Every structure is written in C-alpha cells, then in structure tokens.
Amino acid sequence: MLQLVGNGGHMGYQQYENQLHLLTMADSAEILALLVRLSQRPKPPRFLLHNYYKEVPVSANAEVLYLFDDSLCCRTSEIQSRAVELSRHTILKCTDLPHDVYAEASYHPESREIVLSGFSYVEVLPERRSSIRVKIGGLLYVEVEAGADRFRAKLKDLSLGGCALEVPDKALLGSFTYFYLNLSLNLANRPEPVALRIMARLHRFESEGTPCRCIFLFELDRGSEDLVGMYIAQRQGEIIRELKA
C-alpha cells in the first residue's frame, strides 16, 4: 500500500508496496493538463518512464504522442514497454514537473503505445532510493540463528543493505533483535555455492500473519559485501534478460 499524505486515495495504488508517498495537492485532471502543456512546447522537456520490475529499476525516455479523453498516449523502448505491461503502472519523471507522477498504464502491442491515466504526484521514499534490491527467483532458503535456536525462512528479496524474509511463524523470532542469517548463493564464476553467515538486525514486520514477512538490515564485512554485490548484479542481469525475452 502507498503511504498517503493528506486525504484521498485510489484503488490502483493498492498494487504498490511501501515505496512511495502519495502527494494529494493536485487532482488527475490538473496534472494531465500540465503534462499536455509541457509536451506541446516548441522544445518539449525530456519525459522518462520509470518502473521496478522484480525490484530492479528500469527507465527509458518516453515520446508523448497525443491526448485521448482523460488519458495521455506515448511510446517508449521495448524493454520499458514490457515492464509497464507487467506492472500496469509507471512513474513519469520530468525536470519541469514539481514532483514525480504516478500513472496507471496499459500497453497496446499492436500500436506499441502506452496509455497513461489516473495521475497523482508521488515521492519515492528514501528507503527505496538507498540501494538496489532484487527479487529472488525460485526458492532460496536462509537458515536463521535466533540465539541457540535455528529455523529456515524463505529469502524474498535482497540488497546490500538487507533482505526480506518469509518466516514460518513470528514466534520463532522470540524477543531477539539481532540474528545470524546463513545464505548459500550460486555465483556464475564459482564452481560451488558460496556460504555466508551474516549478522542482521530485525528492522520491521511487513506482515504479521502466518507466515510473516520481515525486513532485516545487514551488518556486512568487506568480503560478504563483495559476494552479496556479485549475486545482486548477477540477478539483475537475469531479470533484465527476462524483459528482453
């Protein structure tokens, strides 16, 4: 869910994670009118579409084509179009806008056009800007050390700053704040999986059901940081190749 600032909201935002502040100082029609005015300048500013596909940022220039009722039609690169098609929303960036703009988006492959509607000003949260995250493909289990106890949790996404784990039961965490996470990462340039034991601090719960989703912050040494960084870069490459396929 989006974190709202002020009153109002939109059902489309419920597909988003806690990554944006929704700013409600202007309605969709006002923002659309501004976008049209900017696009009709003799020298229009550069518009950029920005998405997160499996947590990887994907951006490309956009060409504004025409206005259709309460929607704006544009074209962008094939990879960006694919990211928009899968996400069904995008973030529109332009230096002449007072804020980034969230828009619902639909892609029409027959014309290669993207139709934008439902505009709102947004602000990317600092946590989202701080480091690149990647969503984990398939099942990757982490052995969690909670004091003398151990249990397995699913690794959902990963960054240099920390990770999201799906824990079978919140009670397994006890009253601990710090844990050791044991990861086994398959790196393309290594014949065997790399085993890492990382100290991590429980930062927050994103859900408290069963299972629960938890965010942990890493305390990495230089060697672990290099290996985690290599895995993230490798996973980014896999995700981008998915978009190109």
pTM of the predicted protein model: 0.75
Please choose, from the candidates 141, 187, 135, the residue with its C-alpha nearest in 3D space to the C-alpha of residue 156. Answer: 135
pLDDT number for residue 127: 57
pLDDT at 24: 66
Residue 105 has pLDDT above 90, yes or no: yes
All domains of the chain, ordered by start, with CATH? 3-130 (2.30.110), 133-244 (2.40.10.220)
Q: What's the pLDDT tens digit per position in 3-21?
A: 333 333 443 444 444 566 6
pLDDT of residue 182: 98
- pLDDT tens by residue, 26-80: 889 999 999 999 999 999 999 999 998 988 889 999 999 999 999 999 999 999 9
Nearest to 58 by CA among 160, 165, 134: 134
Q: What is the pLDDT of residues 125-170, one digit of tens each?
A: 665 555 788 999 888 999 999 999 999 999 999 999 999 999 999 9
d(CA 54, CA 52): 6
- Residue 126's pLDDT is 60
Residue 26: the pLDDT is 80
**Percentage with pLDDT > 90 across the chain:** 76
Asked if residue 22 has pLDDT above 70, the reply is: yes
Question: For residue 241, is pLDDT > 50?
Answer: yes
Burial 132-160 (b: 16+ CB within 10 A, else e): bbbbbeeeeebebbbeeeeeebbbbbbbb
Q: What pLDDT was estimated at residue 6? A: 31
Q: φ, ψ for residue 56 (rounded to 5)?
A: -90, 130
Query: Average pLDDT, whole number, for the chain?
Result: 88
The DSSP output letter for 98 is S
**Residue at 28: amino acid letter:** S
Distance set, CA 113 to CA 41, 82, 86, 110, 134 (Å)? 21, 11, 14, 8, 28
